[in-house]
């Protein structure tokens, strides 16, 4: 299952698949549900290209590694390079907007945190970043007024509103671009609201980015 960036009609977008750059702890309600400290500056991590898979297709989760949690996030696809950019120049670098899951092996992450070790084993495993198709940026008027939600087996688990982000999309892209150059084809994961919890093989998943897309998929065995 080779992953390629796609548009709403299923056509491949002509951007090489890059890395995912993710922000952690960007919604207060999620910080509270895990009892984490509020970051004094944005918490960033990266998932490699091998983490991507198509959100619209059934995706596998790791077995026998403890709980694998959903984190539904607004995902941004970049079309131009950003290095040490300012917040007022980053919008023009976005190709489009979609949805992604920042799948997280929560038990493993907890034990890595306790040992002071990096999170990659819990966050960057194969297929840890299912992403939807992308809707062109021109179709959005305000990226800080997007509503999104996740249902598992018909029960609402997450609702998000981008107005509640601690670090806005423009500030986040600028901050990220000072830490690592963002390249065309990279995806930015903008953080999860509350409602993270374990996924099971066989779960049916419905995700929505209000007014723009709905995704129906399921969890399968690795
Ligand atoms: Zn996340």
Q: In this predicted model, what pLDDT tens digit does every residue of 142-164 receive, in sequence order?
A: 999 999 999 999 999 999 999 99
State how far the Cα of 31 lies from the Cα of 191, in Å rounded to an integer: 11
Quote the pTM value. Answer: 0.97
**Mean of the per-residue pLDDT values of the chain:** 97
Q: What are phi and psi of 114, to 5 degrees?
A: -60, -30
C-beta neighbour count of 200 within 10 angstroms: 11
Pairing of strands 204-209, 213-221: antiparallel
In the reported structure, the alpha carbon of residue 71 is separated from the centroid of ligand 1 by a whole-number distance in angstroms of 5
Domains of the chain are 20-221 (3.90.850.10)
Span from the CA of 105 to the centroid of ligand 1 (angstroms)? 11
Q: Is the pLDDT assigned to residue 222 strictly greater than 90?
A: no
CA dist., res. 67 & res. 57, Å (int) = 21
**pLDDT tens-place string over residues 16-68:** 999 999 999 999 999 999 999 999 999 999 999 999 999 999 999 999 999 99
pLDDT digits (tens, 9 = 90+) for 116-126: 999 999 999 99
Sign of the CA dihedral with 146 first, then 147, 150, and 151 last? negative
Q: Tell me, in angstroms, the distance from the centre of ligand 1 to residue 45's CA.
A: 9
């Amino acid at each position: 299952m080779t992953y390629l960036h796609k548009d709403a009609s299923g056509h491949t977008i002509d951007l090489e698949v890059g890395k995912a750059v993710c922000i952690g702890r960007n919604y207060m309600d999620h910080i509270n549900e895990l009892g984490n400290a509020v970051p004094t500056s944005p918490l960033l991590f990266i998932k490699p290209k091998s983490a991507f898979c198509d959100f619209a297709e059934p995706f596998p989760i790791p077995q026998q590694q403890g709980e694998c949690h959903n984190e539904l996030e607004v995902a941004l696809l970049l079309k131009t390079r950003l290095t040490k950019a300012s917040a007022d120049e980053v919008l023009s670098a976005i190709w489009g907007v979609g949805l992604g899951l920042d799948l997280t092996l929560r038990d493993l992450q907890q034990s890595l945190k306790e040992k002071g070790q990096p999170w990659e084993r819990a966050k960057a495993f194969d297929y840890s970043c299912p992403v939807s198709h992308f809707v062109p940026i021109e179709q959005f008027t305000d990226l800080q007024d997007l509503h999104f939600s996740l249902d598992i087996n018909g029960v609402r688990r997450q609702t998000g509103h981008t107005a509640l982000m601690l670090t806005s999309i423009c500030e986040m892209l600028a901050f990220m671009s000072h830490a690592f150059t963002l390249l065309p084809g990279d995806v930015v994961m903008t953080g999860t609201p509350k409602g993270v919890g374990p996924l099971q093989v066989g779960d049916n998943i419905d995700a929505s980015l209000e007014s723009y897309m709905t995704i129906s998929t399921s969890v399968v065995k690795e």
